[in-house]
Amino acid sequence: MAKKLIVLSLDALQTGDLDLLFQLPYCSQLAEKCAIVKNVREIYPTLTYPIHTAIVTGVRPEKNGIPHNQKPGITRDEPNWSIMGSDWYWEKEGIQVPTLVDAVWEDGRTAATVNWPVTAGDTRGYNVPEIWPVKALKEDPREVYRKAASPAAFEEYYDRFISRYDWHSNDDLRVYGVEIAIDILRNHKPDLLLHHIVHLDHARHVHGDHGQEIEDCIKQLDIAVGRIVEATKDAGTYEDTNFVLLGDHGQIDIRQVFHLNACLVDMGFIRLGANGLPEEYEAYSFSAGFSTHIHLKDKGDERLVSRVHKALLALQAAYPQCIDRVYTAEEALKEEGLSGEFSFVVEGALGTLFQNSFTAPILISRESPLYDQYSATHGHHPSKGEKPPFVAFGPDIRPGVVIDGADLLDECPTLAALAGVDMPQMEGKPFPILK
C-alpha cells in the first residue's frame, strides 16, 4: 500500500534559498536524506493559483481552467486588485480536470488541505481553503469559511484558530495555517496533506527578492518544516510518510509600473465617466503582475481584434523598455498552453509591473515619489527570474539525487507516484528520484 504523502508549498521559495535552508537547525538534519530538483521551470503566467493547480492536475491552464489568480473584470470591488481583493479563483469547481486530492479520495483513502489554492467548496475530510473575507464587501469571516471549508474542518478549526486572525491587517495566512496542519497530522493522520505556506512570498513582495528580511523569513520556514515533521513523529506516522517541499515561482524586483489601461483610455478603447471609472469600453488590461491579459468587449468582432492588436504592437514599439512581447490568444495557447477569456497577453520587460489604473501616469519608475507598489512580484514568463526547487525525502525517495533543470508539469506525476494513484490526463513524467 502507498505511503502517506505531505506536500508543503513554500510560496516563492527559490532554488538559491536552499543554500541557507540546509544550514538551519531543522532542515540541515534532512539534507542527506533528500533528493533535490533544482530550477524547475514554471508555467505561464508565474502566478500562485495557476501554478498550484498545475501541480495537482499535471496540465496547463488550457486544460485545468485556472489561467490567473483572479477572475477578470474592468472594475474591482476591492481597489487593490492584487492584495486580498475579490473574485479570486477560490472555488474547486473552477478546476476542469481531476486533481491529486480527487484521485486519493477515489482510491479509498483520505486527504486534507490547508490554505491550498482553489479548494473552496470541497466538503470532503479536512479542507481549510485559501480564502478571505473581502473588506470592501464587509463580508463576515465566519460565513465565508462556513461556506468554503469542509464541515469537519469548519467545526473543528474555525473557532480555535481562524476566528482569532486579524482580518483588518491580513498580512498573510501563516498565523493559523501551520497550527491547523500540525493538528490534522497529529489527530487525523490523512494519507495526503497539501499545505500552502505564504510567508516567504509576502516577505519578498514587501522587502524585495533578496535581503536580511528574506533570510529571517527562511529561518522561520525552517522552524515550520521542523514542527510539521515532528508532528508525524508524534502521530507515529513518520516512518511511513514521504515529504515534499516545493516552491511555486520566483520573484523579480520591480523597476517600474506601466499603466496600460491609461494608454487604452488615450487611444479611445475606454471611455471614463466623471468619477474616473469606465462608462464604456472596447478593450481593457487586467494585470497578472509582470504580464497582463487584454480583454475585449466582443472578442468575436474581428475588426476590433485587429484594431486592438495594432494598438498593442504600436505601444510595444513606443515603449520597448516596458513591453517584451504581445501574444495573440492563439499564440499563448500554442506556445504556453494558456487560454482564457482574454484576446491578448502582453509580457512586460524585465521588472515592469502592469497595474490596472485608468487615470495614473502611463509610466512610473521605482525612484519616482509617485511609486507606491510592492518591492518585488511575479507573473512573468518562465524564461525569466530565479526558479523554484522540488525537494523530497522519505521511504520511497532516493537520497542524494540532485537534478538541475526540470519542468513543473513533472511534479504532479511524481506526487501521484508517491501517492500510489493514477491520473491519466497528466502531461509529464515523474522525476527520477523514486526508489
> Strand, coil or helix: what is 348?
strand
At 126-178, the pLDDT tens digits run 999 999 988 777 889 999 999 999 999 999 999 999 999 988 777 777 789 99
What is the pTM (predicted TM-score) of this model? 0.97
Q: What is the pLDDT of residue 167?
A: 84
- The answer to whether residues 97 and 426 touch, using CB atoms and an 8 Å cutoff, is no
Residues 319, 347 contacting (CB under 8 angstroms): no
CB atoms within 10 A of CB 399: 16
CB distance 14 to 215 below 8 Å:
no
Ranges for all domains in the chain classified under CATH 3.40.720.10: 4-250+384-419
Contacts of 232 (CB under 8 A, 6+ apart): 4, 6, 185, 238, 241
Instruction: State the pLDDT at residue 79.
Output: 46
Per residue in 240-252, pLDDT (tens digit) is 999 999 999 999 9
User: Is 60 exceeded by the pLDDT of residue 81?
Assistant: no
Residue range(s) occupied by CATH 3.30.1360 in the chain? 255-373
Task: Say how far apart CA 133 and CA 144 lie, in whole Å.
Answer: 6
In angstroms, the CA 227 to CA 212 distance is 23
> Which whole-number Å values give the CA distances from 355 to 138, 285, 373, in the listed order?
24, 8, 9
Cis amide linkage into residue 382, ω under 30° from 0: no
Q: What is the pLDDT of residue 390?
A: 98
Domain 4-250+384-419's class? alpha beta
For 255-373, CATH gives 3.30.1360
- What average pLDDT does the chain have? 95
Above pLDDT 70, what percent of the chain? 97
How confident is the model over 193-241, as pLDDT tens digits?
999 999 999 999 999 999 999 999 999 999 999 999 999 999 999 999 9
pLDDT at 78 over 60: no
Bin 381: left if φ > 0, else alpha if -120 < ψ < 50, else beta: beta
- Helix (H) / strand (E) element for 39: namely strand 35-41
Q: Average of pLDDT values for 303-314?
A: 98
Q: State residue 84's pLDDT score.
A: 47
Alpha helices, DSSP H, located in 130-211: 141-148, 151-157, 174-187, 199-207
